[in-house]
Amino acid sequence: MAAIVKRSARAILIDDQSRLVLIKRTRPGETPYWTAPGGGVDPTDASPADALQRELGEELGADIDGCEQVYLFSSAAIEGVAVQHFFVCRLTRLDIGARHGPEFTEAGRGRYDVDRVALDDDSLNAVDLKPAALKEFILANRDALLGAVTDPIA
């Protein structure tokens, strides 16, 4: 069994208009791509869910509720595997002015733009969402994901 050398937590974040909230990454000299908001699980995080709360605050100034893990993705990494925990969450507040962290202070990292993509039509097909397996998962489970945030189990 390979060692987990990197762990991250990301949100399949859905707003009150049934749109997927994504980060459009534009790095200097590269073609833009989209990613789910979130990031690395730090040693001080009690769990991936706690890491997600912290990361969404940093990246989006966001508050969420109705959050549950729905997907796990792993990929090869140097000396082991990288694991991404994906949670479906309902966005309750977004404050772009509250964003903070090295993503927003180090110009060489490129841009981290918030983008919203409709889930009730074919809009997601036009987006280069990474990892591609996440895009496939969302498209295959769109109704269940929307249901999870509109009618969460108490």
DSSP-based helix, strand, coil % in the chain, nearest 5? 30, 40, 30
Model confidence at 100: pLDDT above 70: no
Strand blocks (E) in 27-126: 33-35, 38-40, 63-77, 80-93, 111-118
CA dihedral 54, 55, 61, 62 (to 10 degrees): -80
pLDDT in tens, 34-89: 999 999 999 999 999 999 999 999 999 999 988 999 999 999 988 899 999 999 99
Computed over every residue of the chain, the mean pLDDT equals 90
The predicted pLDDT at position 105 comes to 62
What's the CA gap between 46 and 129, in Å, rounded? 28
* β-bridge pairing 4-14 and 80-93: parallel
Domains of the chain are 4-150 (3.90.79.10)
The tokens for 147 are 């249901």
User: Which helix (H) or strand (E) segment is 93 a member of?
Assistant: strand 80-93
User: What is the value of pTM for the model shown?
Assistant: 0.91
The predicted pLDDT at position 150 comes to 84
Instruction: Compute the average pLDDT of residues 128-132.
Output: 96
Question: Is residue 5 within 8 Å of 80, Cβ to Cβ?
Answer: yes
